[in-house]
Each structure stands twice: as structure tokens, then as C-alpha cells.
Amino acid sequence: MSIIKLLDEFTSEKLTTKSSSRREMFSTLSSFGKKAAMAAVPFGLATNKASAAAFFQENPAVDALQLALTLEYLEAEFYMKALDSGVLNGNQRAMDAYMQISKHEDAHVAFLKAGLEGAGATPVESPTFDFTAGGAFDPFNDNGIGQETAYAQLLALAQAFEDTGVRAYKGQAGNLMGTAFLEPALQIHSVEARHASEIRQIRGVEGWITGNGDNAAAPANSETAQNAYAAVYEGEGNTMQGGLDLTTDITYASEIVGDLNAAVTQAFDEPITAEQATAIASLFIVSDSDGDDSDG
Amino acid sequence: MKKPLVKVDVVGTSSKKTKNNSRRKFIKMGGLGIAGSTFLLYGCSEEEFNPGGEVETPEPDPTPDPDPDPDPVAFDLGSGDVGILNYAYALEQLEAAFYTQVRAGDYYDGAPQDEKDIFDALYNHEVIHRDFFKAAIIAAAGEDNTLPDLEFDVSSINFDDRTSVLETAMLLEDTGVGAYNGAGDRIADETYLTLAGKIVSVEARHAAAIRSLIDPTGGYFAGDDIVDPSNGLDVARDPADVLAAAGGFITTEFTANNLPEPMTGS
């Protein structure tokens, strides 16, 4: 599939039309994500066709950084809006955390942009985000869901974004091997994990992931929310490491406290592919392609 | 059963020698005080030690070793990916030993349930990491090339005191994060890089949890002291630096003379 054809498909895909249901959109995104990943195109491209040629150079490292930048755009805007929303008022630990995280995500955006430019690539532009995911959530209490529910969703979405970020960076490490970007990417990766741990604990759940995300609740009971959460944590319950099933193939020299399977899944975070990260993030991305094929 | 004689050589890059006495820095084992915010400790030893490849005739020792070891060759972590795996294994052994002691101490005994739960989890994870590395390295490189079980001296830590436990836990976890981050660019096999990635983010989750037990305000879970606020990057540390920091707790000696250099020099 040519890059142009792929881009055309992206911008004309049903998933980007506002009329399709978000649930349908989410499942469609999964299949689209596969195509995108196979062509090694970061999804941020969809917002700016003209810049496609600038960095579509069969360079997996550049693609990895573009994906990372798009995820950082999402996080940076989310935390900025969260702090502006007033929803955190009265929750000092959360307020402190969001301020610190917001500072880091802004720094990551600047760092990745500079890195891409330094490598001669044009950084993708920020997509347009919709943190309600088409009305499924109301984290900033813009639509009157109420402070308490908005606060719960604000934390749950932050957790999903951070845990996704951890998984996405991990999944891109291989693409950055042998480049000067590997170490800084790892240094961002562990910061995202610190963020995830703190957000989870503010929610009252453990800082680490049990099974396929079993120890933390989705941001809402809707099917959209449940499906999205399932996608964020799919595969986290893996117990195979280095060819060994750590629940059966090892005799531990010290006794494990509580459930071994839970502990094993907590002890290792699992990567996701660019395709998976794209599918998750795209739930919150508004395509600007409707009737607008200009350069953005 | 041979007692492993292992030394941590923290000056792998220094090859300058004086004529008569190859005087190398060794980590002084044991007796480490946790003071302030650092447990970095370098010690010097007059002991002669020759890593593989360098042959010297040792001068006669005026004070014979009261406990002569039949096999004085220290274990070397090795080269390439096996070296990095052994390096990680050493750190995981230390963390597992630390949390084992924490759970036997008075602080843990009287701690609120939520703090106990955190230490139970950290203990579990580090034991799993430790025993996983042992199995994985033996499978990949054979038992002879796998770091032996290390012995530790944690007498400098007051396991009855919350502050002593938390500060040490923070230093170990932050050091672990920095160690994995600094090792990534030295790994040749993508599978091992991913494995390291799967573990380092869990260590970072630990570090944040411990830091929030120390101070739940002001963003200390990822404080400006550990995450550079100008670029949002976590620490990345070189093996020599990490081994110097961790070595104070390790009584078994080993060398790290052949660890791979960074591939990109980053």
C-alpha cells in the first residue's frame, strides 16, 4: 500500500466521521491501526498530509519519535486543560501531581521536537484532541457531569494515558536501538512510569498493574470506556518472560506473598505496538479532515 | 563448596598503573553509613587484583591471609549482554535482600496496612526479578557465567526506623531506574532490551510509590531532584557509578571489568 493511498484511507475512513458511534470507531481503529503500523506511518500524519513526505523515509527511529511526540502532545494538552478546569480544586495531592506531570509532558514535547528537528525530520503537528471521546467522558466538567464524577474521570484518563505511554515507549525501544535517541527515550519512559504510579495511587489503587489491568477501574461504566480500558491493558497479564513461564517454570528461593500470578504480572510491564498505541490515542483525536484537505 | 571471592572494580576505565603496585580502587565492603542523601562510597584497597588478560607476579604478602581461598579469582560479570544481565542480577539480588530485611523489621511490623501492602509488593517483584535473572542467565550462558548468590551487609540500615527504611528504599529504586536507563544503550539484543524495559518501568513505579510515602506533596514522586525539570528526563547512570553506590551493601566481591560500552556514546 502506498503512503498516499494509506493517507487517503486514513482521512476518508469512516472512523473519522463524526456520525459514527465511538464504539464502532474504536473497533474500526484497531484494524486501521494495523495498516498504519505496517506502513510505519505515525498517525499524527493524518492531521497534516503535506508534511508526510518530509519524514516518511522508512526510518523506524523517526517514526518512533513521531509516535512519541503525538502521545506527548495528547498528555501535555490533557494536563494543561485539567489544571485549567478547576476540577482538581480541593485535592492537593492531585493538584501537585498534575502540575509536576504537566511540566514534564511540556518538556517532553519540546525535547522530542528538538530531537526530530536535529535529526532533519519535521515534527508532526499536534492533532486536535477531544478528551470527552465524543461525549463518553466529561473529565473537565465542561458538560455538567458534576465535579465528583469529573474528578474520577480526570484521574482514570490520566492513568490510562500514562500507562499507555509507558507501554508505547517500551514498544518503540527496539526501533531506537543504535541511535542517540534510545537513552533519552528510556529516560522519558521511566518518568511516565513514575507518573502512572502516582496517579494510580491517588485513585486509591496500586502503582503497578495486576493482570490485564484488573486492579483499577475504567473511567466510566459505558461500553466505550470499558473497551478503551481493555485496550490499554490488553496483554499486561502476560506471565512468559524470556521463554519462561514465571508462574510455573521457576522455583522461587524466597516465598512470594499472596497470589503468585498477580505478583508476576505486576513485576513486568508489557510493551504495545505503534498500532495499539495509535488505536488507543485515536479515541481522543478529532480528525480535521472533514471538508478540510488543506495543509492544516 | 568454594567461597566465591568477588571484587567490585569501579575503575574499569583506568588502566594506569604504578610500577610496583597496581593500586586499584575497590569498593569498601560493609560498614556503610547512610548519611544524608547518598550512599555512594568509594574505597581503596592495596590488594592486588588482575583482571583476565593482565598477568603480573604478585609481590609476597607479608601478612598471610588467615583464610586462604583455594580459588582467588574473582567472578567477573562478563562481557556483552551477559555482562549486563549479571549486572542487573546483582542489583535485583540487593533489592530482594533489602526488602526481605524490611519485612522482618519492626518498622514493617508496626506499619499501617497500606504501607505493608506496598512493601509486600516490592518484595514480591524484586524476588521475582532476581530469580528470573538467575534462571535466564543460566539458560543463556551457563551456571559458570552466572553471578553467584551475593552476600550483603545491611547493618547500616535501621530496619526499625521508618525514615531509614524509606530513604534506603528510595535510593535503591532510584538507583535501579538510573542503572537500567544507563544500561539500555549497552544492550545488543533487542529481546534483552525489551526485557530491561519491562523491568525498569516497574522499578520507576516503585520509586514513585516510596517517594510518595516520604512526601506525598509537591510532586516528589518524580521530583526535580531526580527528573530534570528542564527536559523531563529521568536519571541514567553508568555501571561504575551504580556499582559504587550499591557496592557498600555487597560483601561478596566481584569485578565488572568487561561490561560493554554504550553503542552510541550517549
Nearest to B184 among A180, A182, A249 (CB): A182
Residue B250, helix vs strand vs coil: strand
Tell me what pLDDT residue B165 has. 98
Tell me what pLDDT residue B49 has. 35
**Domain ranges, ordered by start, for chain A:** 3-235+270-286
d(CA A232, CA B73): 49
Shortest distance, CA B89 to any CA of chain A (angstroms): 14
CA dihedral B127, B130, B131, B137 (to 10 degrees): 170
Predicted confidence pLDDT, tens digits, chain A (296 residues): 333 333 333 333 333 333 333 333 333 333 333 333 333 333 333 334 334 444 445 689 999 999 999 999 999 999 999 999 999 999 999 999 999 999 999 999 999 999 999 999 999 999 999 999 999 999 999 999 999 999 999 999 999 999 999 999 999 999 999 999 999 999 999 999 999 999 999 999 999 999 999 988 888 888 989 999 999 999 999 999 999 999 999 999 999 999 999 999 999 999 999 999 999 999 999 975 444 444 43
d(CA A18, CA A128): 14
Tell me what pLDDT residue B72 has. 63
Cβ contacts of A93 on chain B, cutoff 8 Å:
216-217
Tell me what pLDDT residue A43 has. 37
Tell me what pLDDT residue B257 has. 96
Residue B46, helix vs strand vs coil: coil
Q: Is A198 on the interface with B (CB under 8 A)?
A: yes
d(CA B224, CA B139): 40
d(CA A120, CA A114): 10
Q: What is the 3-state secondary structure (H, E, C) of chain A?
A: CCHHHHHHHHHHCHHHCCCCCHHHHHHHHHHHHHHHHHCCCCHHHHHCHHHHHHHCCCCHHHHHHHHHHHHHHHHHHHHHHHHHHCCCCCCHHHHHHHHHHHHHHHHHHHHHHHHHHHCCCCCCCCCEECCCCCCCCCCCCCCCCCHHHHHHHHHHHHHHHHHHHHHHHHHHHHHHCCCCCHHHHHHHHHHHHHHHHHHHHHCCCCCCCCCCCCCCCCCCCCHHHHHHHHHHHCCCCCCEECCEECCCCCCCCCCCCCCHHHHHHHHCCCCCCHHHHHHHHHCCEECCCCCCCCCC
Q: Which of A73, A202, A65 is nearest to A128 (CA)?
A: A73
pLDDT category at B35 given cuts 50, 70, 90 is: very low
Are the C-beta atoms of A68 and A61 separated by less than 8 Å?
no
d(CA B40, CA B83): 22
Tell me what pLDDT residue B10 has. 46
Cβ contacts of A258 on chain B, cutoff 8 Å:
120, 124
Single-letter amino acid code for the residue at B256: A
Q: Is A108 on the interface with B (CB under 8 A)?
A: yes
CA dihedral B50, B252, B226, A159 (to 10 degrees): 130
Q: Is A138 on the interface with B (CB under 8 A)?
A: no
Shortest distance, CA B56 to any CA of chain A (angstroms): 37
Pairs of CB atoms within 8 A across A/B: 216
d(CA B147, CA A6): 51
Shortest distance, CA B70 to any CA of chain A (angstroms): 28
Cβ contacts of B194 on chain A, cutoff 8 Å:
170, 173-174, 271
Tell me what pLDDT residue A58 has. 64
Name the least confident of A76-85, A252-261, B20-29, B52-61.
Answer: B20-29
pTM, entire model: 0.80
Residues A252, B127: C-beta atoms closer than 8 Å: yes
Tell me what pLDDT residue B47 has. 35
Residue with the three cell numbers 480541593: A90
pLDDT at residue B33 greater than cutoff 90 = no
Q: Is A231 on the interface with B (CB under 8 A)?
A: no
Cβ contacts of B119 on chain A, cutoff 8 Å:
none
CATH superfamily, region B80-240: Ferritin, core subunit, four-helix bundle (1.20.1260.10)
Tell me what pLDDT residue A221 has. 85
Cβ contacts of B180 on chain A, cutoff 8 Å:
186, 190
Q: Is A4 on the interface with B (CB under 8 A)?
A: no
Tell me what pLDDT residue B63 has. 58
Q: Please report the ipTM that was assigned to this predicted complex.
A: 0.81
> A286 phi and psi, to 5 degrees?
-95, 120
Cβ contacts of B217 on chain A, cutoff 8 Å:
92-93, 96
Single-letter amino acid code for the residue at A265: T
Cβ contacts of A169 on chain B, cutoff 8 Å:
197
Nearest CA in chain B to A114: B231
pLDDT at residue B25 greater than cutoff 50 = no
Q: Which of B106, B95, B47, B65 is nearest to B245 (CA)?
A: B95
**Domain ranges, ordered by start, for chain B:** 80-240
Tell me what pLDDT residue B167 has. 98
pLDDT category at B71 given cuts 50, 70, 90 is: low
Q: Which region, left, alpha or beta, applies to residue A284 given φ > 0 means left and ψ of -120 to 50 means alpha?
A: alpha
The enclosing H or E element of B75 equals strand B75-76
